[in-house]
Amino acid sequence: EYERAQILERSRRGKRHRAHSGEVSVMSGAPYGYRYVRKTDEAPAAYTVLEAEARVVQRIYEMYTVEGLSIGEMTRRINAEGIPTRKASARWERSTVWAILRNSAYRGFACFGKTRVSSRTRVLRPLRRRGVITPSTTAGHERPREEWIEIPVPALVSEDRFARAQELLQENKIRSRRRTIEPSVVQGLVSCQKCGYAFSRVSTRTSARKIHYYKCIGSDGWRKLGGPMCDNRRLVRQDLLDQIVWTEVIRLLEDPTLIQQELDRRLAAARSCDPTQKREQSLQRELTHVGKGVERLLNAYQEALLSIEQLRERMPALRQREQTLRAELQAIADQTNDRAAFLRLAETLTAFLARLRSAAETLNVTERQRIVRLVVKDVLVGDNTITIRHSIPVPSGPPQNGGSPPSRPDDQSYLLRKRSDFADACQYLSALRFRSMGGCLAQEVRARRRDRRAICR
């Protein structure tokens, strides 16, 4: 047993050392879009790009980040078009598309050591009831991101597009529809300013119509054994809150100077810290090294140190590696051109805002929801205030006495996550006034109790 543990530890240390050295041989295999090339005497193991599969990967990222399709819709489209998987007899599944969207190899860095083996933290109740014996330790527990070891590989998508995909994956965990029959503009964005819990929607029916309210789930006593976590028991009318947020978003978008400032700031940040510059320099060094290897082989052949058979055996691997590096450098150049096209966005900004203002009143709830999620981070509801946190700067209000506006210390910029506080929200939202927890809330509690009794039976 001791020898076995020593062998495992030595193997683990050896793999980590090779991963730190940039060898892809420690990976279990090449993901979709790549082909694993075994190491030779002249070149280490490497990933080469399979053009047909690479186009599928790029299209998946485009459908998710640009077209805004869900993972299920993308899976259905790919299967309908008959695009083959690695195994021709298999179909595309949601988990396969989800794994492609999360794999960092497509941005140019394959990660080693992402998971670890640790003790099981919880055994689910259905397993215990069936008497299933589960192991005390399980694999697949994700390590912290800073412990991952990055290995350079050819990139298939840009850093910006990969980062956008990760952002959407995280947002969709919170903002997924979850069988919502009647969507709202601020769905998935409202949370409590006191406890941080999300607001859920409840409804009540009058003799004339059905009215929806938002309430803090931390104020529900039945959710936690210790009672309610928050004392924010106010109910917020959904239609009035939607109107407030939509009016504020339109007010922001109607000021072109605010959008222009945000575009200028993001462009300056992209120029100052371009993530592809470091990668491009590394590829240039590796390309120079491969070129010198080709030159040394030719010199050795000219000096009769190598035979023609040895030259033919060693040269193709170097030429293939050189071709892969040049293709990746060309992809980085294309990404730089795409980033430069971001500059031209400001030229069409005025026309876009004009179209948005003209169509603002005719957009349906789903279209308004998409626009709001582009510029609003979240909406915080307090006792008597509504705070909208967005990613577009809001200018300070005019000075009370007609003087110049107060200057910020050290000329500090607040372009991101500037807050819009509705201190007098009660004049906009009469539903924020305190009301008893009867009505729709009591109906929900009774429904929950009926469900529990049905389960116990």
Output the pLDDT for position 348.
54
Split at pLDDT 50, 70, 90, the class of 218 is confident
Residue 260 pLDDT > 80: no
Whole-prediction pTM: 0.52
**Is a pLDDT exceeding 80 seen at residue 106?**
yes
Q: Which of 204-208, 231-235, 320-324, 336-340 has the lowest mean pLDDT?
A: 336-340
* pLDDT at position 396 over 60: no
Higher pLDDT, 319 or 358: 319
Most confident of 6-10, 59-63, 260-264: 59-63
Spell out the residues 6+ positions from residue 243 whose beta carbon is closer than 8 angstroms to its own: none
* pLDDT over threshold 80, residue 413: no
Identify the pLDDT of residue 427. 44
For the ranges 156-165, 171-180, 324-333, the lowest mean pLDDT is seen at: 171-180
Of 225, 223, 206, 202, the closest CA to residue 214 belongs to 202
Residue 410 pLDDT: 36
The letter for the amino acid at 269 is: A
Does position 294 have pLDDT exceeding 60, yes or no?
yes
Predicted local distance difference test score (pLDDT) of residue 75: 93
38-81 pLDDT, tens digit per residue, is 888 878 888 899 999 999 999 999 999 888 888 999 999 999 98
Residue 11 has a pLDDT of 85
Distance separating alpha carbons of residues 347 and 256, to the nearest angstrom: 11
418 contacts: CB under 8 Å, gap ≥ 6: 389, 390, 392, 393, 394
Across 366-395, average pLDDT = 77
**Residue bearing tokens 């290897």:** 293
Task: Calculate mean pLDDT across residues 165-173.
Answer: 85
pLDDT at 104 over 80: yes
Rounded average pLDDT over 115-125: 65
pLDDT reported for residue 100: 94
Q: Which amino acid is at 370?
A: R
Contact at 8 Å (CB) between 293 and 376? no
Task: Count other C-beta atoms under 10 Å from residue 78's C-beta.
Answer: 20
Mean pLDDT of 141-158: 84
CA dihedral 214, 218, 220, 224 (to 10 degrees): 150
Structure tokens at 208: 């004339």
> How many angstroms separate the CA atoms of 274 and 71, rounded?
29
Q: Which pLDDT does position 273 carry in this prediction?
A: 52
**Percent of the chain whose predicted confidence (pLDDT) is above 90:** 10
Give the pLDDT confidence score for residue 403 in this predicted structure. 40
Residue with the larger pLDDT of the pair 453 and 177: 177
pLDDT of residue 445: 43
**Token code pair at residue 321:** 């590696």
How many angstroms separate the CA atoms of 433 and 205, rounded?
19
